[in-house]
Chains A and B, each alone.
Chain A
Amino acid sequence: MAEKSAGRGTKSYKPVSMSSKEYQAFAKAREPSRSVWTNCLKAFLVGGLICTIGQGVQQFFMAVFDMSAREAGNPTVAIMILLSVILTSMGVYDKIAQWAGAGSAVPVTGFANSMASAAIEHRSEGLVLGVGSNMFKLAGSVIVFGVVAAFVIGIIFWVFGIGAWHATTG
């Protein structure tokens, strides 16, 4: 009970006196390091694997349905999207992504995952306010900046008069 008799304790410690700048440097130095090289290697392997699977699907369409490489492109993308959505629905894609990083984010499967995951997540808010308005929550910025970038590139082609070349090889 001795310590109760004093209205204020006798202990006096230095207050937390670091400035924001000092603290941020202090905290930064104590962050676990992220291995950029390991992450790059993992992304290369998984991204490469996804693209190899895509190539296999395309070869399948070309061999079995007698399609040209260009004709086989669209059904191939559809199959890759389907695979991604199935893996997302089964709760597997996010686990792959934690390991693979950019490797599973960059290919078309990553785009499909961003839409499917948002659609599943917001199903509880209904089809219109939930799925409809949230499906592009993450993918929307990809589309917006994709369209803007395409527009800028289009202007550049137009200004330099190489539109015709662009149209034939597009």
Chain B
Amino acid sequence: MLLQGKRTWVYPKPPVIIATGTVVGPDEGEGPLASDFDLVHPDLEVGQPSWEKSERVLLEQASDIALQHAKLSKDKLSFFVGGDLMNQIISNSFAARTLGAPYLGVFGACSTSMESLAVASLMVASGAGEYVMAGTCSHNCTAEKQFRYPTEYGSQKPPTAQYTVTGAGASIVSGEGDGPVITAATVGKIMDLGIKDPFNMGAAMAPAAVDTIQGHFQDTGREPGYYDLIVTGDLAGVGHPIATEMLRRNGVPIEQTIFHDCGLMIYDVDKQKVQAGGSGCACSAVVTYGHLLKRIRKGELKRILVVATGALLSPLSYQQGESIPCIAHAVAIEAQNSNRQGGAVQ
């Protein structure tokens, strides 16, 4: 049985992330991780007449790059699992139309990156698919348009607000091959501690990250020190210190490892005008698939835990005064030769 504990899948034969593709926009291209992305667009339009089309093209390009890296043709894909922030996850559905692979749409807001990767790994580990692609994307302007105000509207954002990452990340998971492996995945549950401010998603999502991280350790028996790095998805400057403090209060020895956040890594938060930091589905996707997996391949990191966080609000729900339900999904990614968990891959 793959289930260990309450909500963690542990893979005796860990699925391999054989290839990834990452595409980002201009602001991410000015950030400290720029050189780790496969394609950096100099503008937000990406040659498209609408923001929605731009977002879709980002994902199409990321999936194309992943396929090229894996030296696979589209028709070899068993399944494509993906989602995004747009209503009815149109970016992924339209990109899946181009891809032509059997498609499962998922929605976890900004946690979609690890939700889709967890589902893809489960499909491969259980023999349900040979090559499964996980993908997600977000665009600063589509998110502003749908969740906030028109992009050119002059409103002052509070310092707790976050800046939606423009980009897309795709990965191909397979039972065999070279690359970092997925040893475990922990599925989050909804945490809602009553934060209603859509300009303070970091604080809204922090308890979800804490809950999933604790659940992961309880289910696997691992400790924070098992990992070289634990990253949250997009808690940013406000949410990440809150999560750290909550973990300490709950007795989790998080100081055993480096605890960071993709939303703080993708931008130079002090120089770029991104308020508290980055957010969006693409935030944890491009940081993980671009930056972190490259570091694992180089041998700089052996074991990481990516805890992607998502705020599951809609423009309607917050206008009606509802609080923000949040979720976090964790995926443990390790170097193929680290082999502490899971055993014989080769």
Contacts and interface: CB of A to CB of B under 8 A. Distances in A.
Interface residues of B, number: 55
A94 B210 contact: no
Q: Which of A13, A26, A34, A91 lies at the interface centre, i.e. has the most chain B CB atoms within 10 A of its CB? A: A13
Contacts of B156: 39, 97-98, 100-102, 105
Given A34-B159, A113-B153, A121-B152, A15 B220 contact: no
Contact of B52 (A32, A124, A137): A124
Contact of A117 (B149, B157, B193): B149
Contact of B219 (A8, A91, A94): A8
A11 interface: yes
The A contact surface, by secondary structure, is helix
B158 interface: yes
Interface in B127-170: 145, 149-160
Nearest to A102: B156
Contacts, number: 152
B13 to A, nearest CB: 13
B159 A27 contact: no
Q: Which of A11, A20, A31, A88 lies at the interface centre, i.e. has the most chain B CB atoms within 10 A of its CB? A: A11
Interface residues of A, number: 52
A98 B211 CA distance: 35
A98 B273 contact: yes
Given A14-B251, A16-B210, A34-B159, A113 B238 contact: no
A12 B218 contact: yes
Contacts of B207: 16, 18, 23
Interface in A66-102: 88-89, 91, 93-94, 96-98, 100-102
B246 A16 contact: yes
Contacts of B268: none
Contacts of A170: none
A9 B221 contact: yes
